[in-house]
Amino acid sequence: MKALIVDDDRTLADLLSFTLRRAGFETVQAFDAPGAVSTFQQDSYDIILLDVNLPGGNQLQNGFDVCRRIRETSNVPIILLTVRDDEEDIIKGLNLGADDYILKPFSPRQLVARVQTVLRRAKEGQALMPAAFSARDIHFDPNRHEFTRGGAEPVLLTRLESRLMEILFLNANQVLPTATLIDHVWGPGGATPDMLRQLIRRLRQKVESDPGNPQMIQNHPGIGYRFIP
């Protein structure tokens, strides 16, 4: 497995290299946009780690350009490295064909986990990408189980919480029957309404600003719940 690491911060690039080598990768580094493109063209890689905030002038200088250029000739998996404040960068990058993103700062474990996830997905040929939900000031990424509200810290959801949030968000503004929710979270008939109530409760505690007066996740007696972004 061979990885191309593109980052102008050489310390960070070294750290990335070190981490990935420990995980069994070969690594090659590039420190600016032209270098990245030419390096990429000289050899084939299994995955690209790409900092979007490459410094520089006006043409073929930042990470997006690199992403576009690579995508013109290859569909190698690309993971973007971005900072939290820039949701737009993420969307822009994903639209240019990147496969996933990682928010800086990140731990080595996160990095390896993401890389392996992306590689597994790529191998299975399922390029599921627009997996993130967002509406107004909230944002939810089911792949990494993160729920973000406004500029606040992302909240980590558990597996079941994430699946619940997924179907709620997917059918925003609609009342979803209890059975439908159970089917999607646990599988058909895989749970009792009791368990769903507890799950709803825990999810509210995590995502509602006032869990005592839930605004986003509303109940409709005898029917089910509804999510209002």
Which of 159, 187, 188, 189 contacts DNA by CB under 7 A? 159
What's the min distance (Å) between Cβ of 226 and DNA? 11
Determine, following the binding rule CB under 8 A, whether residue 75 of this chain makes contact with its own copies: no
Determine, following the binding rule CB under 8 A, whether residue 175 of this chain makes contact with its own copies: yes
Q: Tell me which residue of 89, 82, 110, 204 sits closest to 149, measured CA to CA.
A: 204
Which region among 32-40, 52-60, 138-146, 196-204 touches its own copies (by CB under 8 A)?
138-146
Q: Tell me which residue of 84, 117, 85, 119 sits closest to 102, measured CA to CA.
A: 84
Q: Are strands 100-104 and 78-83 parallel, antiparallel or unpaired?
A: parallel
Q: Tell me which residue of 130, 122, 225 sits closest to 182, measured CA to CA.
A: 225
DSSP strand E in the chain: where?
2-6, 26-30, 47-51, 78-83, 100-104, 133-135, 138-141, 146-149, 155-156, 175-177, 217-220, 224-227
What's the min distance (Å) between Cβ of 193 and DNA? 5
Determine, following the binding rule CB under 8 A, whether residue 126 of this chain makes contact with its own copies: no
Determine, following the binding rule CB under 8 A, whether residue 159 of this chain makes contact with its own copies: yes
Contact residues for its own copies (CB under 8 A)? 15, 18-19, 22, 95, 103, 105-110, 113, 127, 129-136, 143-145, 156, 158-159, 169-175, 220-223, 226, 229
Contact residues for DNA (CB under 7 A)? 156, 158-161, 178, 186, 191-195, 197-202, 204, 211-212, 214, 219-224
